[in-house]
Structure 1
Amino acid sequence: MSKTIAIIPARGGSKRLPGKNIKLLGEIPLIAHSILYAKEHDFIDEVYVSTDDVAIKEIALQYGAIVIDRPQEISGDLEPTVSALKHVLESIDGAVENVILLQATNPLRPKNLVQEAFTIFQEQQVDSLFTVSRSHHKLGKITNHKFIPYNYEVGQRSQDLEPLYYENGLLYIAKASVILNNEIITKEAFPLEVNHPFANVDIDTQEDFDYAEFLLNKTNH
């Protein structure tokens, strides 16, 4: 029987916010938010954490994830996420059909997001799905010290902008075959729009962490 698994890649090295994956957000380590979120869903058969770090490994095991030790050669700063996902698939037994990628740095997700996303993924019969949010920024390029508007004309109201979207990192789902082909988002991937404050959280700095904490406290009260 083919499975649906969740994979949470979590390296030890973080230059801008050292030890961020094990830093306490609320009352639990950052990475635990994604592990517990995945474990709430019956259709996710197993939750894996891919890491090169002993402290992350201990916490992941404590919260009920299966840990795959990530080799040093695919743990560098410039290594794409797909390398870690592929390594997990190649390290485990049994047929995996679908992979849900949860990034530890996006710890806050709307409660029903993964359930809704997985239903759409199956109904649309796509090979990958990822979450996007609408940008309300007036974007432009700077060429020769001149600002050239990209998605608007000067003087235009922001609510009249042509809709543009960004990949928010909350959730990715892909067929295992796609990942084994070194992809996560294919050309035919389904973009699932999520407009929620949690979509603005991607932890890279102390300021990002503080903002996540603020949203978490606000949601819990």
Structure 2
Amino acid sequence: MTVLAVIPARGGSKGVPAKNLAPVGGVPLVVRAVRACLAARRVTDVVVSTDDALIAEAARTAGAEVVLRPAAIAGDTATSEDAVLHAMDAYAAPRGEDGEGDPDVVLLVQCTSPFLTADDLDGVTGAVTEDGADTALTVAPTHGFVWRQDGAGRTEPDGYGVNHDKANRPRRQDRPQEYLETGAAYAMRADGFRAARHRFFGRTALVPTDPARVLEIDDPHDLARARLLAPLLDPQVLPSYDDVDAVVLDFDGTQTDDKVHIDSDGRETVAVHRGDGLGIAALRRSGLHLLILSTEQNPVVAARARKLQVPVLHGIDRKDLALKQWCDEHGIAPERVLYVGNDVNDLPCFGLAGWPVAVASAHDEVRAAARAVTTTPGGEGAVREIATWLLGPALSTAPATPTAP
């Protein structure tokens, strides 16, 4: 039984520019969708259909195949069905002729639903492969009263109930259960989909999902809400030593408590945590590349870096450009970088690094964009905590070939 998941992800988006690459919980939307598909037990193949080179690169890195979509079906008027049919053709071509290479079931997976789960995908797939449905979709139970406004022939529009009589409001328990289409995942028999050319044919099964996870990103407000919800809805997945090649640390607010003490001569001092120094030393011994990257041009930063024996770049206006150049110079893939920050000037680096990490005391917007958040505030051992994620509680030296820090 072959089950092909197709994720349409074109480059153009008017509501949210570059929407399909927008990070939620520190992970681009298209990558979140690919990971959910790869985690589903019943999905055998994952394809991203796109016309955008950056989306294609992100999808391949995440483990999906990529089908490049022609311009004719990549515009605002193109349908998701067009993208799925084209992806099916590309999938089937090397596997057989006249539809022989088609999968048994095809899924349409929308990466604009950031909280889609592997269980959702297995649910709609199982409805077709095991329960005899021709098509299936994820739905959320709802008891909402739906209204419509009709102004035809009236000086003032009149509101009326769509799924209820406004003159008779039955109790929730007396009303039939209704469901809201989530827009996240659809499953179809492949042969039936080719014949019908739309996602609802034959018997359609409704697969309920958790209403708390239902969110479609259509505008910047939806994206902001998704980022705020991610720390609550995403399972906390912490990086391991095998996930990263480099650790890049902000200084103020990350290795300090973000306070500056100034004496009568204008000299600045800050407080750092000895546990952080221990963690950084262990990371250095483990063979990981290390860097301190700071906006402030400050002798305190340079002195701390010397003591820790860690390279430093400070007085940097565009930290993301400096990070990208540093990665290029050291042959490090940005997706293998763990970047630790606390404030909004770290967000561009969060968009570049594969593991953006916020300290517990970070700005709300930074916490929302992070892939992981420490339980410890900056300046109180947050870097030590991250070191334990990577090296274990004893901070033992990980088995690696030492590299120049």
1:58 maps to 57
Unaligned runs of 5+ in 2: 96-100, 152-156, 237-405
Within the candidate set 158, 161, 171, 1:149 is matched to: 161
1:188 aligns with 2:203: yes
Q: Give the superposition deviation at 1:44.
A: 1.8
> Do 1:151 and 1:161's aligned partners in 2 also have CA atoms closer than 8 Å?
no
What one-letter code is carried by the residue in structure 1 that aligns with 2:164?
Y
Q: Give the superposition deviation at 1:162.
A: 4.0
SS for the counterpart of 1:132 is strand
Q: Which moved more, 1:117-126 or 1:14-23?
A: 117-126
1:163-211 per-residue CA deviation (whole Å, 9 max, x = no partner) reads: 3322111211111112322121214211222243112x10111111122
1:211 aligns with 2:211: no
Structure (1 or 2) with the greater strand fraction: 1
Within the candidate set 150, 167, 189, 1:175 is matched to: 189
Q: Give the superposition deviation at 1:59.
A: 0.7
SS for the counterpart of 2:183 is strand
> Do 1:121 and 1:129's aligned partners in 2 also have CA atoms closer than 8 Å?
yes
CA distance in 1, matches of 2:211, 2:148: 27
CA distance in 2, matches of 1:138, 1:41: 34
What one-letter code is carried by the residue in structure 1 that aligns with 2:177?
P
Q: How many percent identity over aligned positions?
A: 26
1:32-76 per-residue CA deviation (whole Å, 9 max, x = no partner) reads: 001011111343221100001111111111111111000000111
Structure 1 pair 3/187, CA: closer, same or farther in 2 (3 Å)? closer
Q: Which moved more, 1:202-211 or 1:107-116?
A: 107-116
CA distance in 1, matches of 2:124, 2:225: 25
2:178 maps to 164
Unaligned runs of 5+ in 1: none
Q: Give the superposition deviation at 1:121.
A: 2.2
Q: Give the superposition deviation at 1:138.
A: 1.8
CA RMSD of aligned residues (A): 1.9
Q: Give the superposition deviation at 1:113.
A: 2.1
CA distance in 2, matches of 1:111, 1:86: 23
CA distance in 2, matches of 1:117, 1:104: 16
1:3 maps to 2
1:1-221 aligned within 5 A: 3-92=2-91, 93-94=94-95, 95=101, 96-144=103-151, 145-154=157-166, 156=169, 159=172, 160-181=174-195, 182-199=197-214, 201-219=215-233, 220=235
CA distance in 1, matches of 2:40, 2:139: 22
Structure 1 pair 143/36, CA: closer, same or farther in 2 (3 Å)? same
Structure 1 pair 55/106, CA: closer, same or farther in 2 (3 Å)? same
CA distance in 1, matches of 2:142, 2:41: 33
What one-letter code is carried by the residue in structure 2 that aligns with 1:15?
K
CA distance in 1, matches of 2:219, 2:2: 35
Compare CA radii of gyration and give the structure with the larger one: 2
2:391 maps to none
Q: Give the superposition deviation at 1:115.
A: 2.3
Q: Give the superposition deviation at 1:7.
A: 0.7
Structure 1 pair 161/62, CA: closer, same or farther in 2 (3 Å)? same
Structure 1 pair 162/41, CA: closer, same or farther in 2 (3 Å)? closer
> Do 2:139 and 2:207's aligned partners in 1 also have CA atoms closer than 8 Å?
yes
What one-letter code is carried by the residue in structure 2 that aligns with 1:104?
C
Structure 1 pair 19/146, CA: closer, same or farther in 2 (3 Å)? same
Which structure is higher in RCO with an 8 Å CA cutoff and minimum separation 6?
1
Structure 1 pair 162/54, CA: closer, same or farther in 2 (3 Å)? same
Q: Give the superposition deviation at 1:30.
A: 1.0
1:111-151 per-residue CA deviation (whole Å, 9 max, x = no partner) reads: 52222332232222122111122333222222221112222
What one-letter code is carried by the residue in structure 1 that aligns with 2:159?
F
CA distance in 1, matches of 2:41, 2:205: 23
Q: Give the superposition deviation at 1:6.
A: 0.8
What one-letter code is carried by the residue in structure 1 that aligns with 2:211?
H
Q: Give the superposition deviation at 1:157.
A: 5.7
